[in-house]
Structure formats: C-alpha cells, structure tokens
Amino acid sequence: MGGLTLTHFLVLGALLFSTGVLAVTLRRNAIGVLIGIELMLNACNVNLVAFSRFTGNIDGAVYALFVVMLAAAEAAVALSIILHVFSHAASISVDDYTEMKG
C-alpha cells in the first residue's frame, strides 16, 4: 500500500465523522441535518472498507454495501417526511418543528 497504514484511513474517517457532527449541530435547515448524517455514514463506510482491506476479509465491504443501501432508504424516507412537514408547517427549520413537544 505504499506506506499507507490503517491509521491513515481511520483518521480520515474520524475527520469526516466530526465534520458530519459539525453539520448536524450547526445546520437548522432539516436537509442540512440530513447532509450531516450522510457525511457520518460515509465516514463509517471508509472505516469498514479500510478494515476489510487490511484484514483481507471481504465481510467489511459487504457490510459497507448494506450501509449504502440503508443510507439510500433513510434519505428517501427522511426527505418525504421533510416535504410532508414542510407543506404542513411551511418551514424547513428544525427549530420550528415543535408540535410533538411532550
């Protein structure tokens, strides 16, 4: 691998994950929060594929494939919910979705 170690990829995954945390906590737009979640899922996938490569076991890549599939399903459901709430509350800001407050 030309001097690249597992740590290189794990640190990249950690950086991407922290950026996802930043997006989720910073954004008040609901789609922005969704973008942060996609960043976090990508970071997890980088780690899974890196472990798969460095252990010589294909299971990590298969698991990453399932994560990609779940991310697609999650994005579709979340966006349909956002669109529905948007037509109901006329707002895209997560701060305005307070009707379910206990």
Partner 1 sequence: MGDGIGIQLAFFSCAAVAIGSALLAATARKIVHSAFSLLATFFGVAGIYAVLGSDFMAVAQVVVYVGGILVLLVFGVLMTDRVPDEFRVIAPRRYVPAVIAATLTFVGLAWAITGTAWMRLPHVKVDPGAFEPTTAAIGRSLLTDYLLPFEFASILLLVVLVGAARVARGGTR
Q: Site residues for partner 1, window 15-74 (CB under 8 A)? A: 15-23, 25-29, 31-32, 34-36, 38-39, 42, 45-46, 49-50, 52-59, 61-62, 64-66, 68-73
Q: Which is nearer to partner 1, 59 or 98 (CB)?
A: 59
The residue among 37, 29, 32 whose CA lies nearest residue 95 is: 29
Q: Cβ atoms within 10 A of the Cβ of 84, count?
A: 10
Interaction pattern, residues 69-98, with partner 1; x per rule: CB under 8 A: xxxxx-xxx-xxxxxx-xx---xxx-----
CB of residue 55 vs partner 1: minimum separation in angstroms? Answer: 4
What is 5-67 written as a DSSP string?
-HHHHHHHHHHHHHHHHHHHHH--BHHHHHHHHHHHHHHHHHHHHHHHHHHT-THHHHHHHHH
Of residues 56 and 102, the one with the C-beta less far from partner 1? 56
Min dist. Cβ of residue 102 to partner 1 (A): 23
Is position 14 an interface residue for partner 1 (rule: CB under 8 A)?
yes
Which of these, 6, 95, 89, 77, lies nearest to 37 by C-alpha position?
77
